[in-house]
Amino acid sequence: MKKTILIMIAGIAAIHFGCTNMAPEFADDDPGPGDCAPEFPEMDVTYNNYVKKVVAKYCIGCHHGGNSQGPGNFTTYNGLLPYAEESFYIRVIQDNADMPKGNAPLPAAIRDSLDVWISNCAPED
Domain ranges for the chain, please list them: 43-119
- The torsion of the CA quartet 23, 29, 34, 35, rounded to 10 degrees, works out to -120
Average pLDDT over residues 98-118: 94
The phi and psi torsions of 47 (rounded to 5 degrees) equal -60, -50
First-to-last alpha carbon distance for the chain, in angstroms, is 48
Q: Buried (b) or exposed (e) across 30-46, using 16+ Cβ within 10 A?
A: eeeeeeeeeeeeeeebb
Task: Give the per-residue pLDDT at 12.
Answer: 58
pTM for this entry: 0.69
Task: Give the per-residue pLDDT at 35.
Answer: 80
pLDDT above 70 coverage of the chain, percent? 73
Looking at every residue in the chain, the average pLDDT score rounds to 81
When computed from its CA atoms, the radius of gyration of the chain, rounded to whole angstroms, is: 17
Tens-place pLDDT, residues 14-40: 555 555 444 444 444 444 456 889 999
